[in-house]
């Protein structure tokens, strides 16, 4: 949502600094592993990447073979311990030695969890004689932990195009004016005592004194987006478009919907939306693309035909008459002026979802003619919905985040998938989204404020996502990332949207003090980390902007080409990501954290490629020695930096690369 009110309600996870992963000491290879009643933590690894999990998205009839890595000859036995929600019991699976890795450094142990339709959670027990350690998604432990296990959710499929894509988010009025004839003029209409203002492209987003920032228009529209699809697909390299709301509404942000079935005239016509969707799906302007629309389903605007506060529609709305067909769509404490709304904004009356099968549920998602199903259906064929303020949908004016909210989300998922099983359901949530994604029956993923935007901002800019001083060091950064990945299933991790900025927070480049090199560093991380890279329009060139509405400035098209170094870097990074599935669905392993020199390194790998990424968050150049033996890269093999073309030969399991300040290296085998 466009309001800043979320920030006070975020439930940021406590960063588990006690993850004793020993990452800082990974540079020296351990050769002395043996059966000595001591498990070498440095050799242990498992995640749900393709080398370690035979069925990351199993059906109810697929067993799941798990692979676990240890140092060669280090342990005497290993077991999988899993909880099965089907019978409410823990079960044990003994693991057997399977093979060594290519370097001869590691053993791989395997065991299989039998097929069934029930959700399961697993951890590993690793034994060397009398010594036992435990390994789960949160880390390595000397004692068994009651939380942080890996997930197995049979029948839960998140869209592969989302895992493999790059998303581009557009605030329509501020991207490109493709049709001057539909521009809103100054004084064209008034709302809540203020009138519209037309500002010249590139000028201030703030209203004149006494005006309303939400009524400032620049002229961006669907025709403009359509004309720039080649830039989005080819120059930037994004193949998923997410549009902030486009339906009829009085404000520029359109989170106050008046009619879900009509494109706002300032943005174009329904026909132009249809044409835009078709052109996104076509291959002529770049790869086949996808489009996700913003679904504002927690509330409507007070001008909505269902509410009709100002008598704009021919049939009386809930505000006008208690016998209105839509009276029950809202919750009135005292009709007509006291009603439940989004955070008390009387312009945003809250929808009352009532009980299962209610008229509101049918209108929003339940019937073939509902908003959700109409746009997914054969006429429009959009590819997914982003659910605005998704945690708040509820009945009776309640605040959401409860059993009714989850019931609504389960029904909404069934409705979406009944029309298009491959459609994306992306929830807006600023904290730990586990309650909506862990069971596979609600969202496919969430906007990753908690697991990406906030920690990246703190580490690189020294400010949190809201622009407040709040720096963290590299070790804390790594632990935060690890913990937030562990909160959710693997196939959800791969579809979380990883953005540097959004329409609700100050721009990354402004938090970075205008240092474009910090944007370079952030882009390199964004394109090599787990999840769907999501570029908020203009972030690819370092667009600046403060808090809402300044984070919604107009796109500077003098910067929108490969002649801009940041855009050129973005283009190269999306090419690299596209070339290596390991960067999209491969394992993630931390390799090095160095607080003194502000260095961070990690591996992304699968059966085909091993990639080591080194990031330098300092302002000066540093040499980084990467322990690529941890990725089973053999001595004498060559790694090539995908950003510079420089080649490195592995010696003693390591390569040393010189990395400029606020930049990175992507070494691929």
Gap between the Cα atoms of 83 and 81, Å rounded: 7
Q: Which of 243, 221, 248 is nearest to 289 (CA)?
A: 243
Number of H helices, E strands in the chain: 15, 33
Closest by CA to 528, choosing from 429, 663, 326, is 663
d(C-alpha 414, C-alpha 155), whole Å: 13
Count other C-beta atoms under 10 Å from residue 277's C-beta: 23
Residue 598 tokens read as: 């502000």
d(C-alpha 521, C-alpha 152), whole Å? 34
Alpha-carbon distance 4 to 550, whole Å?
13
Residue 222 and residue 277: Cα distance in Å, rounded?
A: 10
Specify whether 388 is catalytic.
yes
57, 239, 388, 539: the active-site residue: 388
| DSSP annotation string for 531-567 | SEEEEETTGGGT----STTGGGPPP-TTT-STTSHHH
* 3 state DSSP class of 248: strand
Is the Cβ–Cβ distance between 636 and 669 less than 8 Å? no
The Cα-based distances of 71 to 35, 172, 268, 605, 660 in angstroms read 11, 53, 62, 18, 34
Q: In this structure, which long-range contacts are made by residues 49-54, counting pairs with CB atoms below 8 Å and at least 24 apart in sequence?
A: 49/490, 49/585, 49/586, 49/587, 49/588, 49/605, 49/606, 50/585, 50/586, 50/587, 50/606, 50/607, 51/587, 51/605, 51/606, 51/607, 52/587, 53/490
Q: d(Cα 184, Cα 421) in Å, to the nearest integer?
A: 38
Q: Which residue's entry shows tokens 């970075």? A: 512
Rounded alpha-carbon distances, angstroms, from residue 2 to 339, 455, 536: 21, 21, 14
**Can you tell me the distance from the alpha carbon of 218 to that of 200, in angstroms, rounded to the nearest whole number?**
6
Tokens 């993923």 belong to residue? 445
How far apart, in whole angstroms, are the C-alpha atoms of residue 306 and residue 660? 57
Please report, for residues 55, 115, 376, 451, 483, the alpha-carbon distance to residue 63 in angstroms, rounded to integers and kept in the order given. 8, 4, 33, 30, 27
Report the candidate in 205, 221, 238, 230 with the shortest Cα–Cα distance to residue 171.
Answer: 221
How many beta carbons lie within 10 A of that of residue 165, not counting itself?
Answer: 25
Residue of 428, 465, 548, 551 with catalytic role: 428
Based on the number of CB atoms within 10 Å of its own CB, is 269 exposed (0-12), middle (13-18) or buried (19 or more)? middle
Tokens of 124: 């590993």
411 annotated active-site: no
Q: Are 405 and 393 in contact (CB under 8 A)?
A: yes
Q: E strands within 277-403?
A: 290-295, 332-334, 338-339, 384-387
Q: What radius of gyration do the chain's Cα atoms show? A: 26
Taking CA 564 as the corner, what is the angle to CA 560 and CA 569, rounded to the nearest 5 degrees? 105
C-alpha to C-alpha distance for 241 and 383, rounded to whole angstroms: 10
- Whether 148 and 222 have beta carbons less than 8 Å apart is answered as no
Active site members: 388, 428
């Amino acid at each position: 949502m466009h309001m800043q009110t979320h920030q006070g309600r975020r439930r940021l996870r406590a960063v588990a600094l006690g993850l004793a992963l020993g990452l800082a000491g990974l540079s020296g290879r351990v050769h002395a592993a043996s059966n000595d009643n001591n498990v070498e933590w440095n050799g242990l690894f498992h995640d749900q990447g393709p080398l370690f999990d035979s069925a990351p998205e199993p059906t109810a009839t697929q067993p799941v073979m798990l692979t676990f890595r240890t140092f060669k000859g280090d342990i005497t036995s290993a077991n999988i311990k899993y909880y099965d929600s089907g019978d409410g019991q823990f079960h044990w699976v003994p693991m057997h030695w399977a093979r060594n890795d290519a370097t001869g450094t590691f053993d791989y142990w395997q065991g299989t969890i039998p097929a069934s339709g029930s959700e399961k959670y697993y951890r590993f027990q690793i034994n060397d004689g009398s010594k036992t350690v435990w390994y789960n998604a949160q880390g390595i432990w000397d004692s068994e932990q009651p939380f942080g296990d890996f997930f197995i959710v049979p029948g839960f499929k998140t869209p592969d195009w989302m895992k493999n894509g790059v998303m581009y988010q557009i605030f329509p009025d501020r991207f490109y004016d493709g049709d001057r004839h539909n521009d809103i003029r100054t004084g064209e209409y008034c709302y809540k005592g203020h009138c519209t203002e037309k500002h010249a492209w590139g000028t201030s987003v703030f209203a004149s004194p006494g005006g309303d920032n939400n009524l400032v228009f620049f002229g961006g529209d669907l025709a403009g987006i359509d004309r720039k699809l080649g830039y989005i697909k080819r120059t930037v390299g994004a193949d998923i478009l997410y549009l902030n709301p486009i339906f009829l509404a009085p404000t520029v942000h359109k989170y106050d919907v008046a009619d879900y079935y009509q494109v706002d005239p300032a943005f174009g016509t329904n026909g132009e939306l249809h044409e835009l969707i078709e052109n996104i799906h076509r291959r002529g302007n770049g790869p086949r693309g996808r489009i996700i629309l913003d679904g504002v389903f927690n509330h409507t605007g007070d001008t909505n035909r269902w509410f009709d506060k100002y008598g704009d529609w021919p049939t009386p709305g809930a505000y006008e008459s208690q016998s209105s067909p839509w009276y029950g769509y809202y919750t009135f404490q005292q009709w007509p002026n006291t009603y439940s709304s989004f955070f008390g904004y009387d312009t945003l009356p809250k929808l009352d979802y009532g009980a299962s099968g209610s008229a509101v549920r049918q209108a929003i998602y339940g019937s073939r003619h509902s908003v959700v199903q109409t746009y997914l259906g054969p006429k429009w064929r959009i590819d997914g919905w982003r659910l605005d303020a998704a945690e708040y949908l509820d009945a009776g004016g309640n605040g959401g985040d409860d059993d009714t909210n989850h019931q609504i989300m389960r029904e909404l998922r069934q409705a979406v998938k009944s029309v298009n099983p491959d459609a994306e359901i992306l929830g807006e949530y600023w904290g730990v989204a586990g309650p909506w994604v862990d069971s596979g029956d609600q969202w496919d993923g969430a906007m990753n404020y908690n697991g990406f935007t906030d920690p990246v901002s703190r580490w690189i800019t020294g400010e949190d996502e809201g622009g407040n001083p709040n720096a963290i060091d590299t070790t804390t950064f790594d632990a935060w990332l690890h913990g937030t990945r562990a909160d959710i299933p693997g196939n959800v991790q791969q579809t979380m949207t990883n953005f540097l900025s959004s329409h609700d927070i100050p721009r990354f480049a402004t938090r970075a003090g205008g240092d474009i090199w910090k944007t370079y560093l952030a882009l390199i991380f964004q394109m090599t980390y787990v999840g769907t890279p999501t570029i908020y329009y203009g972030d690819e060139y370092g667009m600046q902007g403060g808090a809402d509405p300044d984070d919604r400035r107009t796109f500077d098209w003098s910067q929108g080409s490969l002649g801009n170094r940041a855009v050129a870097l973005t283009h190269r990074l999306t090419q690299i990501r596209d070339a290596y599935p390991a960067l999209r669905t491969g394992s993630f392993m931390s390799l090095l954290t160095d607080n003194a020199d502000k260095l961070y390194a990690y591996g992304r790998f699968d059966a085909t490629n091993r990639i080591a990424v080194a990031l330098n968050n300092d302002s000066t150049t540093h040499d980084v020695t990467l322990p690529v033996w941890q990725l089973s890269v053999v001595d004498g093999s060559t790694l090539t930096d995908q950003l510079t073309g420089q080649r490195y030969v592995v010696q003693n399991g390591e390569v040393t690369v010189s990395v400029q300040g606020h930049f990175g290296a992507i070494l691929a085998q």
